[in-house]
Amino acid sequence: MHKKDARRLHEEALVIDAHNDSIIALIRRDNLRLDGVQRSDYAEREGAVAYLRQYIRPLGEGIQLDIGKMRQGGLNAAFFAVDCTRPWGNHLLYLMDALGYFFREVEEFGADILIAHSASDIERAHAENKLAAILAVENSDALEKSPHVLPLLHRLGVRAMTLTHSTRSWAGDGCEVEGGSGLTGFGRRLVEQLNELGIVVDVSHLNEPGFWDVVKMTDAPFMATHSCCRALCEHPRNLRDEQLIALAEKGGVVGITFVPFFVSSTEATLADLLDHIQHAVSVAGIDHVGLGSDFDGGGDLLTDATQLPEITAGLAGRNYTEADIRKILGGNQLRLLRQIIG
């Protein structure tokens, strides 16, 4: 495929990114606007996230994903996650403060972006030349072990939840807990509740015993929103081939992530990232692989969202068909979302 044809394909396709940490990044870089512009009234917008995590300096620099970068990179929809791991004792407050900040931004930039409650919202946004944000919670500790919080978050628009981070949580053990166990009783009930509400179960960061508990328990497809292939890079955050197969058998999708040390134990390249996509396709099948950048959370293999067309060009250079490239760019995730969130 010619380079111009690859660019055309990228511009025409529905492109979905399964994970970013940009809400917190915008706040921690001086309460930036969703278009990446620094505010004059930033101090008036300081909340719990700014207080608990403090600012990253230099202020206002280094954002990988904002409205302008999404448009320039042809990114139509993205999972905007709030990682609630670090604010010990304040997980739910932290989440609500971050969501409140983001709601205010989306309202201000309503001509450009909407919060998607369904797959049809994503398609509608695309048709109207708007961007779509899928709200996600990273680490179910945000629920503070309550069964009553998740339904409220669903009403607010949350449509995906990462069960754990890499550490121990109320739901289970993350991938970096030595000798960790599977899902706890709370974690098992949580998977059931997520299925009932129509919220995507995300197993990225979860350890292997917990992963297999999800496989046994879930009635719905599930995702690993930002992971790579362990066969190519030996890291506990990556999925083994048997995990990729099990995820596919459930109808799930793995979002191949751009975190360099999940891609390669040496200096990671775009070719290495494409190798992970190719390996996942060969093991799980073309219908079960997507993109999960982790922009603004460690996904630094690409400079920012403006470079996403390079992935399309790379896939075209490896002789993937247009139909298969569209699936990887977003079609597979849209199919899963339509099945789970409606």
- Give the Cα separation of 158 and 178 in Å (integer): 31
Residues 6+ apart with CB under 8 A from 196: none
Residues of the chain scoring pLDDT < 70: 57-60
Residue with tokens 């205010």, as numbered in its chain: 104
Q: Where are the beta strands (DSSP E) in the chain?
A: 16-20, 77-83, 113-115, 131-138, 158-162, 200-202, 223-227, 253-256, 289-291
Token readout for 287 is 């219908």
The confidence score (pLDDT) of residue 62 equals: 84
Q: What distance lies between CA 251 and its chain's CA centroid?
A: 18
pLDDT one-digit tens code per residue, 326-341: 999 999 999 999 999 9
Compute and round to an integer the Cα radius of gyration of the chain: 18
Residue 60's pLDDT is what?
Answer: 59
Distance, CA of 17 to CA of 15 (rounded, Å): 7
Which has the closest alpha carbon to 25: 91, 130, 102? 102
Helix or strand or coil: residue 255?
A: strand
Between the CA of residue 124 and those of 15, 114, 131, 184, what are the distances in Å?
Answer: 14, 10, 10, 39
**pLDDT tens readout for residues 15-27:** 999 999 999 999 9
What pLDDT score was predicted for residue 163? 98
- In sequence order, the 6+-apart residues with CB closer than 8 A to the CB of 10 are 74, 308, 309, 312, 313, 329
The pLDDT tens digits for 101-155 are 999 999 999 999 999 999 999 999 999 999 999 999 999 999 999 999 999 999 9
> Hey, CA dihedral for 43, 45, 49, 55, is it positive or negative?
negative
User: According to the model, what pLDDT value does residue 157 have?
Assistant: 98
Rounded CA separation 223/217 (Å): 14
Q: What is the pLDDT of residue 210?
A: 98
